[in-house]
Amino acid sequence: MSPDDSSVRTLSCPACGGMIAMRAAGYTVTLACEYCGTLIDATNPDARIITRYHEVQASLAIPLGTRGTLRGVEWEAIGWLQRSDGWVSWEEYLLFNPYAGYCWLIAQNGQWSLGTMLTAAPQRDGSDQIAASRRFSPFYSGNTARVTRVAGEFYWRVKVGEEVRATDYVRPGFMLSLEQDDQEKNWTISEWLSGREIRAAFDVDPPPTWLPGMTPLAHQPSPYARRIKGWWPIAALSFVALLLLLILLGGTMQPQSFSLSATPDGPAVSQTFGPIRLPLGRQAMTVEAVTPNVEQGWVDIDVSFVDRKTQDSYDAYAINERYSGRDSDGYWSEGDRSQTLKVASLPAGTYDLVVDVKAHHWSSSGSFSYDSAGGAYKADGLPPVEIVLTVARGARFASNFWLAVLMILVPPLLMLVLHIVFENARLAQKDGSPADADDWLQGIRSP
Amino acid sequence: MQSVACPTCGAEVSFRSPALPVRVCDYCRTLVVRTSQSAQAMGETAVLPFDISPIQIGTEGRCFDQGFQIVGRVRWAWDDGAWNEWLMLLADGSHAWLGEAMGQFMALREVELTGSLAQVIRRLMNDTPVKPGESGNIAGHAYEVADIRTVRCIGCEGELPFTAPAGWEALSVDFRNRDGRCASFQKDAHGPSLYVGQYVTLASLQPRNLRALPGWSLHPHVA
């Protein structure tokens, strides 16, 4: 191949003789032999050795020379660094495209980020930094990042052992890093890449799914934040569907009304109404018991649906009561003159409604007379209490409804708990103040 | 356009702009300086080493709100690397520089070193050392010194506003500001000069006639 047919220049390593490629001629300053690791000065026409190594190079997740398309740009991996801050180590691939320049792929704990150098310095706002109109909060400060291994080519004089002071600012999904030494200050924004995105570009192992107990990256977005947000429309739709079901199917039909009366403190009254015909295999019944004129007293109401054929009985019970008076605060009243009873699952059949009522009057003073006809005392001058029963097929069981609502809420609540566990694990690494609810919320709010 | 015969090899050497009196002969790499009547050879430049810059002489585009054409290049090197300064001939006849380093581009125009200058510039003019991080106002904007280097010219091509002999040394100080503006101060044996401008992306230049690089398709954003 004649030199002009290719953008790649090859040379033999002055240390081991291996043929090594130079893919960014003119930009590249340092070349690290991919076979023995020897550092070569690429600005010197004789390819002078800077530091001689005899080290078998690591096998890289992305072999140098591999190309991949990320965000619409074809990149070639030309350099690789391993760096460490004493606690954790990570790898950085230098990506190159002659028309697009350079960017970085950073790999740590199997997670990948795309780093771009900033040409404009961020704006400081309190302890935060604003870069590319995004706000970043402080995360790590004053770490020293040291180059531990190197392969391929770089546009600066890279050295094993080279150190920079690093300060990192974070927002979910992004990290803003300042790296400085005595000569230079460089700002980089790295964006976390989803497993799908990195694998579509370069054939790397899928990033591990986060599980409680694992340490996420400082800028790794909570996997639950998006799911929680995605759940709300589903929850809202389910809620509307439930309401519709309740309205359409939970309505009552064919109301029948019966009334009877009972004298306060008079004898119990028992009466049978019917027939009530129930056509469906199973149905719920609603009985609305109203006592419009009960006053200073209560009425015990027992209702039973009795199947004429089988004599099976389905019972319900209500107390309607009403007390009122006047005190220093003025008029008061309490008690309910109306109750709704529900009886579930009546089989088809013809029923009688058997009603037993007893009205009571509550009074510390009052005159009673013996009613010879009724054989009991009765309160003088008290009118009989009217009881109106309205029986209808069907019933709304609100408890079922709330149970369903709870079940809709369980997944997002579970995800919220996992989200908080994730954010706590992420923020536990932060230098300075511990995590609080604001941090959890920020994780959900920002994309 | 004015054409003269190369004083060394006799090949035709053409000058496009009266403001650009220097031309590197495409054949023998002689630095040809045009005078009012004739052309004079001012030495020979080194062969430019192979690089894979996407820019070439003849690349056109838009910068400083007008069209430009690349007519020349100076390549500079310092201890730890090298970069290109491409000369843009602008539609209004003036010229500007397109600096290309580490895959990033800076569009810079020379400004006069007159009027009230920032202290940091005055100190640079007086050969007083400055440090990265020092700040000062240049042409109405706040800048910070990004780096200070001694640089040397390692070659040139095309048309130039000055002779650029190989081995020519200068002090080069780069300034950056918060909005992506940049400035560059240079001082050599002939005196100081100051350039201001901003970082640009290749795409924002709407370039045409970029250099085709074997094995690479034109970047979709700039093609």
Asked if A157 reaches chain B (Cβ–Cβ under 8 Å), the answer is: yes
Torsion of CA A43, A46, A51, A55, to 10 degrees: 110
Residues B93 and B19 in one domain: no
Asked if the peptide bond before residue A447 counts as cis, ω within 30 degrees of 0, the response is no
Residue B133 sits in the same domain as residue B174: yes
Q: Hey, are the CB atoms on A184 and B132 less than 8 Å from each other?
A: yes
Decide the pairing of beta strands A111-117 and A123-125: unpaired
pLDDT given for residue A1 in this prediction: 40
Burial class (CB in 10 A: 0-12, 13-18, 19+), A435: middle
Total domains, chain B: 2
Tell me, yes or no, whether B151 lies in a domain.
yes
The phi and psi torsions of A99 (rounded to 5 degrees) equal: -90, -15
Q: Specify the residue for token string 């740590």.
A: A108
Strands A101-108 and A89-97: antiparallel
Q: How much of chain A exceeds pLDDT 90, in percent?
A: 26
B31 and B126 inside one domain: no
Touching check for A183 and chain B: CB below 8 Å?
A: yes
Report the residue of B75, B79, B80, B98 to disrupt the A interface, i.e. the one with the largest count of A CBs within 10 Å.
B80
What pLDDT does B159 receive?
92
Residues B78 and B146 in one domain: yes
Domain span at B38? 2-44
CA dihedral A61, A66, A67, A70 (to 10 degrees): 10
Q: B159, exposed or middle or buried, with CB in 10 Å at 0-12, 13-18, 19+?
A: buried
Q: How far apart are the first and last CA of chain B?
A: 30
Answer whether A99 sits within 8 Å of B80, measured CB to CB.
Answer: no
User: CB–CB of A98 and B52 under 8 A?
Assistant: yes
B165 shares a domain with B132: yes
Question: Same structural domain for residues B113 and B15?
Answer: no
Q: What one-letter code names the amino acid at B12?
A: E
Residues A84-112: tens digit of each pLDDT: 988 889 999 999 999 999 999 999 999 99
CB within 8 Å of chain B, chain A residues 14-33: 23-27, 29
Q: Do A123 and B202 touch (CB under 8 A)?
A: no
Q: How far apart are the C-alpha atoms of A288 and A290, rounded to whole Å?
A: 6
C-alpha span between B15 and A279 (Å, rounded): 105
Chain A nearest-CA distance from B178, in A, is 5
Both B15 and B70 in one domain: the answer is: no
Is the reported ipTM for this assembly greater than 0.90?
Answer: no
Q: Which of chain B's residues have a Cβ under 8 Å away from the Cβ of A25?
A: 49-52
**Chain A residues near residue B197 by CB distance under 8 angstroms:** none
State the Cα–Cα distance between residues A377 and A48, nearest whole angstrom: 122
The reply to whether B90 and B132 lie within a common domain is yes
If you search the block for the tokens 């000055």, which residue do you land on? B162
Cβ neighbourhood burial of A177 (10 Å; 0-12, 13-18, 19+): buried
B62: amino acid identity, one letter: R
Is B82–A26 a contact, with Cβ atoms under 8 angstroms apart?
Answer: yes
CB contact under 8 A, A98 and B53: yes
* Between residues A237 and B222, the one the model is more confident about: A237
Given its phi and psi angles, is residue A335 left (phi above 0), alpha (psi -120 to 50 degrees) or beta?
A: left
- The predicted-structure confidence for A393-445, as pLDDT tens digits, reads as follows 876 667 777 888 888 888 888 888 999 899 888 888 887 766 666 666 666 66
Which chain B residue has its CA at the smallest distance from A119's CA?
B180
**Overall average pLDDT of the B143-170 stretch:** 89
Asked if A43 lies within 8 A of B53 by C-beta distance, the reply is no
Same domain, B98 and B130: yes
Kindly state the tokens that stand for B99.
């600096």
**What are the sequence ranges of the domains in chain A?**
3-221, 253-395
List the single best residue of A41, A99, A180 to mutate versus B (max B Cβ within 10 A): A99
Chain B residue numbers with beta carbons less than 8 Å from the beta carbon of A120 are 176-180, 199
Q: Which residue of B has its CA nearest to A25?
A: B51
Q: Does the pLDDT value for residue B69 go beyond 80? A: yes
* Inside any domain, residue B158: yes
Quote the minimal CA–CA distance from B3 to chain A in Å: 30
Interface of B with A (CB under 8 A): 49-54, 77, 79-82, 84, 102-104, 132-133, 144, 146-147, 176-180, 182, 199, 202, 210, 213-222
A116 has a chain B CB within 8 A of its CB: no
Confidence band of A317 (pLDDT split at 50, 70, 90): very high
State whether residue A50 sits within 8 Å of chain B by CB: no
Could you tell me which chain A residue has the CA closest to the CA of B154? A43
Query: Which of A247-251, A311-315, A356-360, B215-219 has the weakest average pLDDT?
Result: A247-251
End-to-end CA, chain A: 49
Does residue B218 sit within a domain? no
Does the distance separating the beta carbons of A120 and B214 come in below 8 Å? no
One domain for residues B64 and B40: no
Asked if B113 and B39 sit in the same domain, the reply is no
Domain membership of residue B116 (yes or no) is yes
Whether B137 maps to a domain, the answer reads yes
Structural domain includes residue B51: no
CATH number of A253-395: 2.60.120
- Residue A105: the pLDDT is 96
The beta-carbon contacts of A270-275 under 8 Å, at least 24 apart in sequence, are: A270/A354, A270/A355, A270/A356, A270/A357, A271/A354, A271/A355, A272/A352, A272/A353, A272/A354, A272/A355, A273/A352, A273/A353, A273/A355, A273/A389, A274/A308, A274/A350, A274/A351, A274/A352, A274/A353, A275/A308, A275/A350, A275/A351, A275/A352
